[in-house]
Structure 1
């Protein structure tokens, strides 16, 4: 659905379709951001301080991704919906385990989720390219590159 006029030189139907694609990504991003915050608040163990800071840094990064996605949605004439209710309906990120506290448990849970998120973001690149929306594809590429680095940071803590 197109909520606002936009003079971006993409066909209106492309703008509507990209808005839907970006909206799903926005929901996933907000969900994952909150999972990083949950880990930040609840991590325990020998690496507490380092992981506490890492999870907060990653949450901030995903907050930035949310802004980028929401702003692209509105640039295309859509409405950026990021309420908890909408995120619950649209997110495909697995629910975060409520019963974990040890650093390695959080690292594994987050690494699993961010890997799937990265895959979905790369699919967004393909969809945007297929629709001829180079700007959205570029946005997805930027997020993909940063997401892969974030996954590397998480996985590095799990290697011995």
Structure 2
């Protein structure tokens, strides 16, 4: 393992955290691509507002991915962030590529954000157990943004009115 800049963590804890960071990085890349899939293909009433919102959401996800990848490097690991790795490693349901209605995209995205948030909460617990407050805090920051974005997306659904 390359040099770590977090000397207070034991090597096995660092390796574990790099694995968790890469797993959540894969999910983040997959979810970012799902958001962009919706952004490119949605149609219907309220199109422009949702279309623009999804660009912002994708930016937030990319910011989270960057934090995770850099933390993996700080811990002495390597970020595994290619599309090929993400496709194999993500635990999220594949995003449907045959839908266009805004409501269908909203439902699909809200479902995936729910699964993503669950995995982030599990990552926070793993980081806490490893004694890695820095990584736990990073995941807390990412989950706050994801929960807010899920709320914004879901608020566009007629079911939320």
TM-score range, shorter chain: over 0.9
Give, in whole Å, the separation in 2 of the partners of 1:7 and 1:57.
Answer: 32
Structure 2 residue runs of 5 or longer lacking an equivalent are none
The answer for the alignment partner of 2:126 in structure 1 is: 127
The answer for the alignment partner of 1:148 in structure 2 is: 147
Q: Which runs of 4+ in 1 moved over 3 A?
A: none
Deviations, residues 3-30 of structure 1 (Å, cap 9, x unaligned): x111412101111010001100000000
The answer for the alignment partner of 1:6 in structure 2 is: 4
The answer for the alignment partner of 2:14 in structure 1 is: 15
Q: Aligned to 1:157, what secondary structure does the other structure show?
A: coil
Offset of 1:100 from its aligned partner? 0.5
The answer for the alignment partner of 1:61 in structure 2 is: 60
- Matched length: 158
**TM-score when normalising by structure 1:** 0.96
Offset of 1:145 from its aligned partner? 1.1
Deviations, residues 29-68 of structure 1 (Å, cap 9, x unaligned): 0000011111111111111101110111101110101100
Give, in whole Å, the separation in 1 of the partners of 2:17 and 2:77.
Answer: 9
Give, in whole Å, the separation in 1 of the partners of 2:4 and 2:22.
Answer: 17
**TM-score when normalising by structure 2:** 0.96
Q: Aligned to 1:61, what secondary structure does the other structure show?
A: helix
RMSD of aligned Cα (Å): 0.8
Structure 1 residue runs of 5 or longer lacking an equivalent are none
Give, in whole Å, the separation in 2 of the partners of 1:83 and 1:94.
Answer: 18
1:80 aligns with 2:79: yes
Q: How does 1:78-117 map to 2 (within 5 A)?
A: 78-117=77-116
Deviations, residues 96-146 of structure 1 (Å, cap 9, x unaligned): 111110111100000000011001101111000000000000001111111
